[in-house]
């Protein structure tokens, strides 16, 4: 394996229909898994914090096997036929629980499996063989960006041990806006100005490593409350960022959009993040 640790990742997973209609983001995810293996070595496991797995205290889903959880309704019946039967990571769960405890974070470990669509949608593209052990980490959505960052910092050593640390959510996420007219706009609708301003702000503050602004995004980012009426889809960004560390600028490695306001951007963190540029 490369001496540079695995980068940590934030992936915007988008609508459940991303699993059937990959568009630009799906093509990027397909390229991402092979690129990681080629440039850093194949991960031995994946720890992932998803916007759709939350709890009152951090929880590790340490079951021996996982299946896709269909945590949505009203979409194409074909979605409910898709599977992702990945192995779990019970032994890794014990390691992660110890790491978190060493940082003063109490996490529970449950002997059960299940991957929400924020996890299995990108992983079906990145690792279609479903042969990498997966350890979901449910986070606390009421906690601040700084607390999510600290959660990620506690996991930083995993990247040097060949474990891929991921957060999945959405760079912008206002579903009330998407469905305001009863039907969503065209999937390729032009981007609204507020979405562009928010996404551009994250790129600019990331390039400057302006952690103070990024951690205070709710007050400082343009249109933050509009783009994230609730911020559970944005908070996994901070978990991944914390695991990558403050020393290196976050890198946007993919940028695309659906419905004019639902961003599909992806970020990489850590010393090797720049190696994942140019995938699409």
pLDDT in tens, the chain (280 residues): 447 899 999 999 988 989 999 999 999 999 999 999 999 999 999 999 999 999 999 999 999 999 999 998 888 899 999 999 999 999 999 999 999 999 999 999 999 999 999 999 999 999 999 999 999 999 999 999 999 999 999 999 999 999 999 999 999 999 888 877 677 789 999 999 999 999 999 999 999 999 999 999 999 999 999 999 999 999 999 999 999 999 999 999 999 999 999 999 999 999 999 999 999 8
3-state secondary structure of 29: helix
Q: Can you give the pLDDT at residue 3?
A: 78
pTM, entire model: 0.96
Q: Can you give the pLDDT at residue 176?
A: 82
Task: Answer for the pair 247, 156: CB distance below 8 angstroms, yes or no.
Answer: no
Say how far apart CA 54 and CA 93 lie, in whole Å.
17
Q: Can you give the pLDDT at residue 210?
A: 98
Please list, in sequence order, all residues whose beta carbon lies within 8 angstroms of the beta carbon of residue 88, skipping any fewer than 6 positions away: 61, 62, 63, 64, 65, 66, 113, 133, 134, 135
The answer to whether the Cα torsion of 23, 126, 249, 253 is positive or negative is negative
Q: Can you give the pLDDT at residue 222?
A: 98
Phi then psi for residue 136, to 5 deg, are -70, 140
What residues form DSSP beta bridges with 252? 267
3-state secondary structure of 151: helix
| E strands in 78-204 | 108-110, 134-138, 163-169
Domain boundaries defined on the chain: 8-276
CATH C-level class of 8-276: alpha beta
Residue 280: HSE in the Cβ half-sphere, 13 Å Cα cutoff = 13
Please list, in sequence order, all residues whose beta carbon lies within 8 angstroms of the beta carbon of residue 192, skipping any fewer than 6 positions away: 260, 261
């Amino acid at each position: 394996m490369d001496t540079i640790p695995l980068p940590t990742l934030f992936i915007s997973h988008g609508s459940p229909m991303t699993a059937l209609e990959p568009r630009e983001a799906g093509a990027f995810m397909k390229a991402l898994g092979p690129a990681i293996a080629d440039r850093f070595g194949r991960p031995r496991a994946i720890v992932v914090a998803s916007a759709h797995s939350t709890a009152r205290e951090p929880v590790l889903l340490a079951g021996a096997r996982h299946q896709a959880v269909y945590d949505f309704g009203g979409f194409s019946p074909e979605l409910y036929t898709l599977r992702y039967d990945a192995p779990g990571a019970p032994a890794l769960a014990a390691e992660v629980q110890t790491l978190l405890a060493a940082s003063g974070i109490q996490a529970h470990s449950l002997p059960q499996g299940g991957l929400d669509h924020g996890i299995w949608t990108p992983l079906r593209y990145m690792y279609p063989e479903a042969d990498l052990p997966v350890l979901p980490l449910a986070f606390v959505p009421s906690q601040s960006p700084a607390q999510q960052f600290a959660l990620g910092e506690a996991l930083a050593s995993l990247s040097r041990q060949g474990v891929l640390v991921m957060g999945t959510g959405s760079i912008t996420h206002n579903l009330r806006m998407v469905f305001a007219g009863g039907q969503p706009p065209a999937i390729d609708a032009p981007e609204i100005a507020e979405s562009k301003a928010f996404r551009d702000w994250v790129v600019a503050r990331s390039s400057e490593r302006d952690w103070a602004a990024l951690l205070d995004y709710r007050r400082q980012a343009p249109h933050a409350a509009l783009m994230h009426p609730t911020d559970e889809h944005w908070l996994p960004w901070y978990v991944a960022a914390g695991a990558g560390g403050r020393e290196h600028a976050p890198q946007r490695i993919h940028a695309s959009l659906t419905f004019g306001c639902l961003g599909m951007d992806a970020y990489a963190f850590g010393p090797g993040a720049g190696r994942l540029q140019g995938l699409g």
